[in-house]
Structure 1
């Protein structure tokens, strides 16, 4: 019995390796910060912000839907070279379920770069060459956009400034 226990402990200690636990394996999110268009150094919150991904129609789940905030982190699609979003200010549903907020459509283009992290984590995606394209309409609430960092390899700092 004692020999069986020692053999069991020996097998467990040999089969486990340091990188069997993944701690660094997340694809970074795109960080957007919202600024005042009149004074571009001041952060300015967006009221009742909703962001939906075009193609799936669901609100982005990386922040509280219809919240008032000056910063969000949103996911980019890893199997494509672009991701489109609807950014909706003053978002609300009417009685028939249609969106009553002001909708701006924004597309991000990028090059997907797979990065091997470890055996436990596998691969993550970084995004390089970030570009934006705001669809013009009669009532854009977004005044202008500035790409701060074209490489998305971390979500510690903002990548995009949106002025409104």
Structure 2
């Protein structure tokens, strides 16, 4: 590499370094659009978490499974940011003879919050409501909204008993 090529190389690196600014990179740990947190409880002892056996969750009208099958007592799922509702199918005992599906509808008001130029927006959700579509064999017995605003993922927003 001759002297001219070295200076050209170093000059290019210098120009590229000046082109990037600190505010062009979204810092790690910046809050993003939160997931909806749902906990499952025992109806006989409403203070005790109760795992759902082989739970799967998928968006209504989609074949792709978002979660599962797994035995869990808490799930975190995304809500649609460009609509005021999201509908999921929660299936217990997936892939067995005792499989049971419940369709659950979530309604809310999306509330965009500007973070900064690098991170853009995050969507919070206000006026959260939930409804389990009634059928002849619902496995979700009841639903309780704990927080009507979804602004973080640190605590549950909804409790289901089953």
Q: Deviations over 1:90-119 (max 9, x none)?
A: 01167xxxxx61111110000011122222
Query: Normalization by structure 2: what TM-score?
Result: 0.86
Q: Looking at CA atoms only, which structure, 1 or 2, has the larger radius of gyration?
A: 2
Query: Normalization by structure 1: what TM-score?
Result: 0.85
TM-aligned CA distance change 1:130 to 1:149, over 3 Å = same
Q: Any stretches of 5+ residues in structure 1 without a counterpart?
A: 95-99
Partner of 1:58: 64
- Whether the aligned pair in 2 keeps the contact of 1:130 and 1:150 (CA below 8 Å) is yes
Partner of 1:97: none
Partner of 2:141: 143
TM-aligned CA distance change 1:57 to 1:6, over 3 Å = closer
Partner of 1:119: 117
Q: Deviations over 1:19-68 (max 9, x none)?
A: 222232632111111110110000000000011111323211xx4x1100
Q: Which moved further from structure 2: 123-132 or 14-23?
A: 14-23
Q: Give the whole-Å Cα distance in 2 for the aligned partners of 1:25 and 1:7.
A: 37
TM-aligned CA distance change 1:25 to 1:42, over 3 Å = closer
Q: Which moved further from structure 2: 35-44 or 150-159?
A: 150-159
Partner of 2:80: 77
- Whether the aligned pair in 2 keeps the contact of 1:25 and 1:121 (CA below 8 Å) is no
- Whether the aligned pair in 2 keeps the contact of 1:25 and 1:122 (CA below 8 Å) is no
Q: How does 1:32-71 map to 2 (within 5 A)?
A: 32-60=38-66, 63=67, 65-71=68-74
Alpha-carbon offset, residue 6 of structure 1: 5.7
